Amino acid sequence: MTVASTVMTKRKPADGSKHADADGGSKPAGADRGDGLLAALFIAPAMFGFVVFLAWPTLRGIYLSFTRYNLLTPAEWVGLDNYRRMVNDPIFWSSLRVTVEYVFINIGVQTVAALCIAVLMQRLTKSSFLRGIVLTPYLVSNVVAGVVWLWILDTQLGIGNQILGALGFDHVAFLASNEWVIPSIALINVWRHVGYTALLLFAGLQAIPGDVYEAARVDGSGELRTFWKISLPLLRPVLAVVMIMTVIGSFQVFDTVAVATPGPGGPANASNVLQLYIYSSAFGRFQFGYASAMSVALLAVLSVITIVQYRLTRAGESDLG
Amino acid sequence: MSVLTPPPPTSPSAPAPEPAPEPAPRTTAEVRRRTRRTLPSPGRMLAWTVMGGIVLITLLPFYWIVRTALSSNTALTTDPSSPLPVDFSWGGFERVFGLQSTEEALAQGGSGGSLNFWRYLFNSTIVATMVTVCQVMFSAMAAYAFARLRWRGRDKVFGLFLAGLMVPAIFTLLPNFVLIKQLGLIDTLTGIALPTMFMTPFAVFFLRQFFMNLPRELEEAALLDGAGKVRIFFQLLLPTAAAPMMTLGILTYITAWNDYFWPLMVSYSDSSRVLTVALNIFRSQTPQSGTDWAGLMAATLVAALPMLLLFGVFARRIVNSIGFTGIK
């Protein structure tokens, strides 16, 4: 509420003069009277939510990362202790490594698969029924996805291993072995999200004007060439934004791991992703300060990646003209 | 916006094996592609095969849920790869709803645990509805103020909102938990709904785009007729925005319904437990050795069904809106 009221009070002295330039004054002057008050009223609920549950928690999280805090006694300022501990904590580094491994597999497979689906949808059929089908997994929660694949990938009875067996391969302990657990989790999440990503890319493809394709056809360009020379380059801004969104999303993997792997962090912390470690530090050991410090680290990593990605991919510019 | 043109009418809910390769209406693009059909058709056949494979991978897990849920546990161990339910049984569902005696449930591989399904369904519905109704309404009001009202600092405040888009959810979860705890709202449905009830930066941004594109004349006529801006907003603009608000509402509902991490933090007892959390508790209850797969899949189906039904009803709208939400 505080910010909403500042907006309200700030507005008053500037009444006649300054605000009219906002959008060129296309309205009769009299109609503007009271806009500031009205705006404050209309924004108040959203502003309340923004300040109380987004802005303030962000600042508070940063503050808590410099404290020792267990929820029961007041937070005690400890300076950089949590960060020092973090740097020397092998589990933190292993969880970061595991998370990065997950992100790479997840993004790699998901982007290629989504691109493939999007192009197929564009070139084969525009049926919204087909689009509905690929979106279905997105409708179920990560928990549901985790439980189903836990069953499908079960070492003994899972249909996945039954098929492997029938093909003459050994059974694989997908979710219970150190080397398979992260790739398996990544693929489960690809299954759930690939349809959504594909639809975003499909929309991007649809926005490419048809005459570009027409020209390519006249030039005798084949499907593959058209894809590499036209679809992909013109899709770049959409692809870039989608990838930034997926990277941010996949760094926050938690649900699937919590559901589909045994115990906290799996064998030898092989599936102890960063979020899981943050969660268990906070709620398993009540080290809210330490957990906050790791959240700050995650935020820092995400910001750097987002900015670098944005720059590298020139996500803000379009080649469509 | 051309992305949004509704696709040809096909039945979105009927479970046909594969859509026909020939779409009905013939736009210019369609006619143009017609000429491409003369390309060597092995390529197209390969493409359709790949597409078929994708559809199969997408849908098979759903079928496997149903198939397993309708099997009996003992038969599952003897015939794990049968494509049809083995030794057909409603036992899994009975265990989920607690309709079996404990001895019977244990004998069939259950844990004696059950889902208080209607309770969790009720909780999930209340939370998702609270979040959706309030978030869409409040975000629409804010979006209107950002798009159509003039006030000092408007662009700066909006920039601040946009910056909020970049804060990942995990970051605010711990401080929000502390806050909800201090407010004494732990283990309440309000506590689960509160943080996302008022706004998300995305919702405000999404609706602002819509209000920005409305012609000014719409309001001006009403203003000249002497209507106040509050009235204009509620009686004129809100009805105009029904479609985008509906789209946003459905997406918000799905997200709120599927959320797991936050409800897990906040709820401790049946009184505020939602379906996602309940499902994982049910999973952790089933015996580690000789998991009750039939019961677990029955529970999974029960937890997934409400959203799948919602999708059945709104499939077209949801599918078409995805592109719109992505292209900013």
pLDDT in tens, A165-223: 888 888 888 888 888 889 999 999 999 999 999 998 998 888 888 888 888 888 888 88
pLDDT at A264: 61
Q: Which residue of B has its CA nearest to A301?
A: B168
* Half-sphere exposure in the Cβ direction for A11 (13 Å, CA): 24
pLDDT at B40: 54
Q: Which residue of B has its CA nearest to A58?
A: B172
Give the Cα separation of B58 and B51 in Å (integer): 11
Q: Which of A133, A152, A277 to mutate to test the interface with B (most CBs of B within 10 A)?
A: A133
B217 Cα to chain A: minimum distance (Å): 10
Q: Which of A117-126, A309-318, B27-36, B69-78 has the lowest mean pLDDT?
A: B27-36
pLDDT at A265: 60
**Backbone angles phi and psi of A70, in degrees to 5:** -120, 20
Of B291, B292, B270, nearest to B115 by C-alpha is B270
Task: Please say if the pLDDT value at position B22 is more than 50.
Answer: no
Average predicted confidence (pLDDT) for chain A:
83
pLDDT at A289: 94
Q: What average pLDDT does this structure show over A124-149?
A: 88
CATH number for region A92-313: 1.10.3720.10
* Contact residues for B70 (Cβ-Cβ < 8 A; gap 6+): B85, B88, B89, B90, B92, B294
Of A86, A153, A42, A55, nearest to B175 by C-alpha is A55
Q: Considering chain A, what percentage of its residues have pLDDT values greater than 90?
A: 36
Of B117, B115, B113, B108, nearest to B292 by C-alpha is B108
A263 Cα to chain B: minimum distance (Å): 10
pLDDT tens digits, B107-150: 676 666 777 888 999 999 999 999 999 999 999 999 999 998 88
Average predicted confidence (pLDDT) for chain B:
80
Please report, for chain B, the start and end positions of each structural domain, with discontinuous segments joined by +: 52-113+284-327, 119-274
* Domain B119-274 -> CATH class: mainly alpha
Give the Cα separation of B236 and A261 in Å (integer): 52
Q: What average pLDDT does this structure show over B303-320?
A: 86
Whether residues A203 and B324 touch (CB distance < 8 A) is answered with yes
Torsion angle of the four alpha carbons A289, A292, A294, A299, in this order, in degrees rounded to the nearest 10: -160
Whether residues A199 and B323 touch (CB distance < 8 A) is answered with yes
pLDDT at A314: 74
Task: Please say if the pLDDT value at position B29 is more than 60.
Answer: no
Residues of A in contact with B303 (CB under 8 A): 141, 143-144
pLDDT at A33: 52
Q: Determine the length of chain A.
A: 321
pLDDT at B171: 84
Nearest to B170 among A39, A143, A252 (CB): A252
**228-257 of A, contacting B, C-beta below 8 A:** 238, 241-242, 248, 251-252, 254-255
Residues of A in contact with B178 (CB under 8 A): 60, 64, 71, 288
Output the CA torsion sign for A123, A127, A129, A132: positive
Task: Please say if the pLDDT value at position B6 is more than 60.
Answer: no
Between A86 and A283, name the one with better pLDDT: A86
For residue A208, the 8-state DSSP code is: S
Nearest to A151 among B6, B32, B296 (CB): B296
B127 Cα to chain A: minimum distance (Å): 15
- Give the ipTM: 0.81
pLDDT at A211: 87
Whether residues A135 and B171 touch (CB distance < 8 A) is answered with no
Using DSSP's 3-state secondary structure scheme, residue A271 falls into coil
pLDDT tens digits, A60-109: 999 999 999 988 888 889 989 999 999 999 999 999 999 999 999 999 99
